[in-house]
Amino acid sequence: MTQFHEQRTIHMYLPDDYLYSQKRYPVLYMFDGHNLFNDEDATYGKSWNLANQILWNQKELIVVGQECSHHGNDRLYEYSPYPFADEELQAMGEGFGEGTMNFFIHELKPYIDVHFPTLSQRETTWIGGSSCGGAMALYAGMRHNDIFSRSLVLSPYLIPTSEYFLLEADHTNFVGPSSFYISWGALEGSSKHAFVQETKIVTEIANRLLKKGAHIQFNVKPEGAHTESDWEQEAPVFLNYLFQNE
């Protein structure tokens, strides 16, 4: 990552026959790549099991997951596009999310498009993540909708930066059809009040994006928790969303 003077592991899923099928595939870029595929790589010992979910749901795509920083609160700063403060996490920072997006757009995507059989156009370039990564996927789908046409926004971490996201939605102009899958659960925060807050924020952002012509699909989960196990269970729904015709 040139801007941060760091190197990061990239975790990828490729169809088994990609070397000889002569097919080209849509690409889903994701945050927290270490949590996607293997339990032994995952921060809390449980992954999304995403490779098997893709196979079981018979989807053909490439997934490119960027591993986050594991130093202190650096992940929070790299995966926030705006200044934020969170007393519970004892974190306060400027937010370097746009620098992260510069890496995705100007370094990672060009490399992937050169070295792998991608469908590189906007319509088949997607982005997704959960928690801070979900917030980044929402941001990317707004600020960089010339690159990404579909965003998977799972359990987004929005409360500390909600006003910035609302302003971003107001200033977003879509260059083509843009879609957002947004999910969150009632058991994610420390209280029911957090769920009410999250619901209010997400709904208001979505309303503003709908006025701009975006397609939105909500998935509100009454028993949803903020865990990799929950996002794994959700995989059939969001994978189908990526491939559905609007």
| Residues 105-118: tens digit of each pLDDT | 999 999 999 999 99
The model's pLDDT over 141-185, given as tens digits with 9 standing for 90+, comes to 999 999 999 999 999 999 999 999 999 999 999 999 999 999 999
Q: What is the pLDDT of residues 188-207, one digit of tens each?
A: 977 778 899 999 999 999 99
pLDDT at 194: 86
| Banded model confidence at residue 85, pLDDT cuts 50, 70, 90 | confident
Q: How many domains does the chain have?
A: 1
pLDDT of residue 102: 98
Nearest to 176 by CA among 209, 153, 148: 148
Q: What is the pLDDT of residues 16-60, one digit of tens each?
A: 999 999 999 999 999 999 999 999 999 999 999 999 999 999 999
Instruction: Write phi, then psi, for 26 (nearest 5 degrees).
Output: -65, 160
Query: What is the predicted pLDDT for the residue at 185?
Result: 95
Q: Taking the complete model, does pTM exceed 0.75, yes or no?
A: yes
pLDDT for 245: 77
Q: Supply the CATH number for residue 136's domain.
A: 3.40.50.1820
Per-residue confidence band for 91, with pLDDT thresholds at 50, 70 and 90: confident
The answer to whether 60 and 27 are in contact (CB under 8 A) is no
Domain hosting 118: range is 2-243
- Other CB atoms within a 10 A radius of the CB of residue 52 amount to 13
Using CA atoms, how far apart are residues 131 and 102, in angstroms rounded to an integer?
20
* Residues 126/132/135/140 CA torsion (nearest 10 deg): -40
**pLDDT value at residue 162:** 95
Contact 213/174 with Cβ under 8 angstroms? yes
Q: How far apart (Å, rounded) are the C-alpha atoms in residues 182 and 176?
A: 19
pLDDT the model gives residue 38: 97
Q: Is 94 or 40 the better-scoring residue by pLDDT?
A: 40
The end-to-end CA distance of the chain, in Å, is 35
- Quick one: tokens of 40? 């032994």
Q: What is the CA radius of gyration of the chain?
A: 17
